[in-house]
Structure 1
Amino acid sequence: MEAILLVGGQGTRLRPLTISTPKPLLPTAGVPFLAHQLARARAAGVDRIVFATSYRAEMFEAAFGTRAHGVDLVYVSEDEPLGTGGAIRNAAGALTCGPDEPVLILNGDILSGHDVPAQVALHEEAGAAVTLHLTPVDDPSRFGCVPTDGEGRVTAFLEKTSHPVTDQINAGCYVFRRKAIDAIPEDEVVSVERETFPDLIESGAVVMGYVESGYWLDVGTPEAFVQGSRDLVLGRLASSAMPGEPGERLALERSRVSPGAVVRGGTAVGRGAVVEAGATVIGSVLLDEAFVAEGATVRDSVLSRGARVGPGAVLDGVVLGDGAVVGPGNELRGGVRVWPGIKLPPTALRFSTDA
């Protein structure tokens, strides 16, 4: 089975992490985020994936080459953003399957443990044009709301609404029949959510909803990105791509965690990163060459490449860009983001975006 992987977004909600790296390539539990998707796709029977790229397109092939995790890889780029539907149609030119074959569509910012083979099986049994993975959530008003009838057929596709009629949302994984992709207008900006799916439903085409309430996470914000990495390290979602066994922490080669440091809660410690004695790091992501000094506390935060936290500093829910420095005694909380290269001098600064 072939798949298209949508990885063209700029990841603006994740800045400054995405200034130099596309969101799908951010290190997550020790490897690029997409490595987990590639491994799961292979386990589901996918043997060839077309990357639909745009932002920093060249970095994807540099990261994965033409084959990774047992899957052959092809890369197709957009000159101008074409929307979700336009990106799928643009990438379809590199598919090799016939018009009635299923094509799996994956979003490059979704971490999911749902049963992909079961979704494909439902698609085939129903003879559907498209089958969407749907998942129930507590607050569906934040997402695309997708009601289904008693047979699982999608009856409407309602983008974010303050009065949702169901708790089922679009979870961002689709199975298209190849000819349904070919029917999307070529070289045009098209949204599958606002145009393709509603048009198919209105035309009477079979659009099915595969409902599963397993692990699902949109990693598009810093908080969700940290949660996704933490969940993978802790083993809440299994991934054969993770370079180590699940546990309280994942420490990559050349990292150094002092025996006198407390590092737990699903923390990932990148290559060459250092955590000194007396430091505490809980549920965080430390990228390569990051440094946490003695007595510092880091919780639910991301330290980008070469970022440094001085002695006694406190970070809680903070993102440090590449090479950012937090001097001794600073206290940063509640979603503070420090841009690459910024250096906060030694001080007793206390700052929170909630203040």
Structure 2
Amino acid sequence: MGSSEEKVAAVIMVGGPTKGTRFRPLSFNTPEPLFPLAGQPMIHHPISACKQIPNLAGIYLIGFYEEREFALYVSSISNELKVPVRYLKEDKPHGSAGALYYFRNTVMEDNPSHILLLNFDVCCSFPLPDMLEAHKRYGAMGTMLVIKVSAESANLFGELVADPSTKELLHYTEKPETFVSDLINCGVYIFTPAIFTAIQDVSTHRDDRANVSRVSSIEASQSMSRTFPIDFVRLDQDILSPLAGKRQLYTYETLDFWEQIKTPGMLLKSSGIYLAQYRITSPNLLASGDGTRNATITGDVYVHPSARVHPTAKIGPNVSISANVRVGAGVRLINCIILDDVEIMENAVVINSIVGWKSSIGKWSRVQANGDYNAKLGITILGEAVTVEDEVVVINSIVLPNKTLNVSVQDEIIL
């Protein structure tokens, strides 16, 4: 224990502002990785999971947001976890594998023997210690976390075939048009430093193809379909697919929960999953109350210590209440995320919704939706500083920031 060859470096890919359009209007002023999920920034969950790894040398966040947007969070989480956390800004998009390679010297500063690579927009239990042990047993270059899903949904992800006994990755294809397997890629990996050689080989091979005329017909057709810069390397198509079946990559299957957080609806669903997980990992974060001195709490609920909630309010299940929120008498909150500085006045109801920062919901108003996490208007979203006046009903709608609603709306996007 403690020797340099046993160290692990963790890398989390956080993307950039061009990727955040799917979270509008919630991502206008807040980077997607810092959006509150079960009372913590979304990226906090994979970062906390990395802390389970023994001899963790450091955590690196790679993306192309401006550094100032992550400076405060990186400083606070480093102090909280007592582990160095750094944000590394790409000069341009390099692809998921190319970005790792671009910062290889920084990632390898402490000579880690293994590199943990995660996507930030994954909600799961992150069984990293068990996965690392399996990776060491396999003795190969890389191990990827996988899970079985329904055959109908598998083509939304990277599908793969693994040897049922050895767990070797035999075949990998990203979002295939025809069904390949119900086993999919979870976006969590452990590699040895040999991954850098594999990435470099892709760039070298691409450079060779650009400079010599001797190219096979298959390679020619592929190069004509789409050409990438030499230093743009994708982890899935350029690394996983070509190395499948070559005893370089193995799989570790999780039987626990897993979701990909690509929409606001999945934010709300994932918040509920993490709140339920708190019962096992962090019960101290869950609120309690029986309606006497404190509000009535049903199910899994997070309430920030600075929030003021009236004792007659009824909260839960699956509710996350952020800093400086004020919840009035008789308010009912079910399956919702309430962000900083929101005021919810007497007898208002919020169901299946996300209420943006500094918004206000008037007396006897209702903000609700049908709760279909996959539908565009399946949850109601109020952007920042939206005012819903008294006795107004908002159903299955998205409201952009700084709007005032004095009439009821349903199934609308208020621009």
TM norm. shorter chain > 0.5: yes
Greater gyration radius:
2
Partner of 2:189: 174
Summarize the Cα distance change of 1:311–1:7 in structure 2 as closer, same or farther, 3 Å threshold. same
Look up the SS of the partner of 1:184 in the other structure. Answer: helix
* 1: CA distance, partners of 2:62 / 2:284: 24
User: What is the CA deviation profile of residues 126-168 of structure 1, one whole-angstrom value per residue up to 9, with x for unaligned ones?
Assistant: 1211111001112212111111113111111111124322211
Contact 2:332 2:348 in 1 (8 A): yes
Q: How far apart in 2 are the matches of 1:43 and 1:292?
A: 38
What is the aligned counterpart of 2:157 among 124, 137, 143? 143
Q: Return the TM-score normalized by structure 1.
A: 0.90
Label 1:31 to 1:322 Cα distance change in 2 as closer, same or farther (>3 A): same
What's the CA shift for 1:24?
1.3
Preserved contact between residue 316 and residue 334 of structure 2 (Cα < 8 Å): yes
Within 1, Cα distance between the matches of 2:240 and 2:411?
45
Match of 1:40 among 49, 63, 71: 49
Separation in structure 2 between the aligned mates of residue 283 and residue 2 of structure 1, nearest angstrom: 36
Give the secondary structure class of the aligned counterpart of 2:242: helix
Give the alignment partner of residue 72 of structure 2, picking from 44, 52, 62: 62
Find 1:333's aligned residue among 395, 408, 412: 395
Residue of structure 1 equivalent to 2:382 = 320
- Equivalent position of 1:18 in the other structure: 27
Other-structure match for 1:184? 199
Are the equivalent residues in 2 in contact too, given 1:307–1:322 (CA < 8 A)? yes
Aligned counterpart, 2:301? 249
Q: Please name the residue that 1:158 is paired with.
A: 173
Query: Aligned pairs, how many?
Result: 350
The corresponding residue for 2:317 is: 265
CA drift at 1:8: 2.0
CA contact (8 A) 1:89 1:182 kept: no
Distance 1:17 1:91, change over 3 A: farther
SS of the residue aligned with 2:103?
helix
Residues 155 and 87 of structure 1: is their aligned pair in 2 closer, same or farther, counting only changes over 3 Å?
Answer: same
Cα distance change on mapping 1:29 and 1:75 into 2, 3 Å: same
Q: Structure 1's 76 and 350: CA in aligned 2 closer, same or farther, altered over 3 A?
A: closer
Deviations 1:242-280 (A, max 9, x none): 745685322112211112222111211111111211221
What TM-score comes out, normalization by structure 2 length? 0.78
Name the amino acid aligned to 1:17: L
Q: Structure 2 CA distance, aligned partners of 1:92 and 1:123? A: 21
Corresponding position of 1:347: 407
CA distance in 2, matches of 1:124, 1:206: 13
1:105-124 map, 5 Å: 105-124=117-136
Mean CA deviation greater in 306-315 or 124-133 = 306-315
Q: For residues 294 and 100 of structure 1, do their structure 2 counterparts lie closer, same or farther at Cα, with a shift above 3 Å needed? A: closer
Going from structure 1 to structure 2, the CA distance change for 1:82 and 1:96 (only over 3 Å counts) comes to: closer
Matches within 5 A, 1:211-222: 211-222=253-264
Higher relative contact order (CA closer than 8 Å, sequence separation 6+): 1
Instruction: Tell me if the contact between 1:331 and 1:351 (Cα under 8 Å) persists in the aligned partners.
Output: no
How far the C-alpha of 1:7 sits from its partner, in A, is 0.9
Structure 2 counterpart of 1:310: 362
Gap regions ≥5 residues in structure 2: 1-7, 204-229, 289-298, 369-378
Deviation of the 1:114 alpha carbon: 3.7
Q: Does 1:77 align with 2:89?
A: yes
Gaps in structure 1 of 5+ consecutive residues: none
